Amino acid sequence: MNPCPPTLSIVCPMHDEAAALDAFFARLLPVLQASGESFEIVCINDGSRDATLQQLRALQPTLPGLRVIDLARNFGKEAALTCGLDHALGAAVIPIDADLQDPPELIPEMLRLWRSGFEVVLPQRVDRSSDGLLKRKTADWFYRLNNRISDAPLPVNVGDFRLMDRKVVDAVKRLPESHRFMKGLFAWVGFRQATIPYTRAPRSAGRTKFSGWRLWNLAIEGITSFSTAPLRIWTYLGSLVALVAFAYALFIIGRTLVLGSDLPGYASLITVVLFLGGVQLIGLGVIGEYLGRLYGEAKGRPVYIVREQFDSSDHAA
């Protein structure tokens, strides 16, 4: 344990970011040095297949505050971010991505607001024109839906890039779940917050690691982690379908008593059966999402496994 923890910890989850590292550190280091605060940079190599780890190791002799944590495989960004928070030592912690879409130049203002008494400082994207139209729209729909049904509403257009006081980080670390939607966990713990507006920039290099399918799964993770509303919705839908079926049965009985013959309708019968079958399968799928989460939590596996740690004092290749 460092006998004199730094004031600021920068936490950087990385997966195949070799092409972005030079530009990232060229922007980040002058900002940190100009702040006058003691700092460390905790980089988590999340199973990169390129030269990310080798480049980080090569930078350590010239960056005394650089710490590199190599995970045993690719566990995903939420796990890598959890690892970074577990290992960060600073009184304030700032997660940031290496793609420079979140500008390091906001750090001095974040520190100023932290010094003034805010325990969480949230840079908020007021302009996301660098993202595609579909991504902007789906993100907007997700925030609207999630904040209507969630127990922990998310700050709109706020990512993982934020400053957190040590007490906030310690609170997040006490949350035990292994399926981790970090934005939701950050929102759930609360604390006194301030917001800084900024414009989101394009990636400096490389390409995003979040495909549409991964973003969809992350959205499902977020909704099921902090709300049971989908289960209630299917309870209400099932009750409505049962009520409609009961009313239709009364209609058929009444028509038969009046006209003396039942209604023909093989096609309508098949349609109703298929509709109800589809409703039941979707309902089972919703229940399955929650059961799957319970199954994952019951196994009690660690969120991540560290293969090796490299401090700045260790320069061996």
Higher pLDDT residue, 62 or 214?
62
Residue 220 lies in a domain: no
Residue 285 lies in a domain: yes
pLDDT band at 1 (very low <50, low <70, confident <90, very high): very low
Residue 222 lies in a domain: no
Q: What is the largest CA-CA distance in the chain?
A: 94
User: 176 and 278: one domain?
Assistant: no
Cα angle at 164 between 71 and 57, to 5 degrees? 30
Least confident of 34-43, 104-113, 268-277: 268-277
Q: Which residues contact 168 (CB under 8 A, 6 or more apart)?
A: 119, 120, 186, 189, 191
Residue 3 lies in a domain: no
Convert the pLDDT of each residue in 46-63 to its tens digit: 888 888 888 898 888 888
- Hey, is 240 helix, strand or coil? helix
Domain range spanning residue 258? Answer: 229-299
User: 194 and 50: one domain?
Assistant: yes
Cα 217 from Cα 223, distance rounded (Å): 10
User: 196 and 268: one domain?
Assistant: no
178: CATH: 3.90.550.10
User: 198 and 235: one domain?
Assistant: no
Strands 163-165 and 92-95: antiparallel
Residue 285 has pLDDT above 80, yes or no: no
Q: What is the pLDDT of residue 45?
A: 92
User: 249 and 294: one domain?
Assistant: yes
Cα 205 from Cα 99, distance rounded (Å): 6
* Structural domains of the chain, count: 2
User: 306 and 294: one domain?
Assistant: no
Query: In angstroms, what CA-CA distances link 19 with 29, 100, 105?
Result: 17, 12, 21
Strands 66-71 and 306-310: antiparallel
Residue 1 lies in a domain: no
Cα 131 from Cα 128, distance rounded (Å): 6
Six-digit token pair at 76? 């995903």
User: 71 and 125: one domain?
Assistant: yes
Give the phi and the psi of residue 249 in degrees, each rounded to 5.
-65, -40
Query: In angstroms, what CA-CA distances link 48 with 15, 45, 309?
Result: 5, 6, 15
Strands 39-45 and 66-71: parallel
For 36-181, where are the alpha helices, taking DSSP H only?
A: 52-59, 77-87, 107-115, 133-149, 166-173
User: 142 and 55: one domain?
Assistant: yes
User: 234 and 206: one domain?
Assistant: no
User: 257 and 137: one domain?
Assistant: no
pLDDT band at 316 (very low <50, low <70, confident <90, very high): very low
Query: In angstroms, what CA-CA distances link 221 with 142, 146, 159, 224?
Result: 12, 11, 15, 5
Residue 290 lies in a domain: yes
With contact defined as beta carbons under 8 Å apart, do 98 and 22 qualify?
no
User: 306 and 290: one domain?
Assistant: no
User: 127 and 233: one domain?
Assistant: no
Residue 2 lies in a domain: no
Six-digit token pair at 7? 């004031």
Residue 199 lies in a domain: yes
Answering whether pTM is above 0.85, one says no
Convert the pLDDT of each residue in 225-275 to its tens digit: 666 667 667 677 777 777 777 777 677 667 666 666 555 665 566 667 767
- Hey, is 155 helix, strand or coil? coil
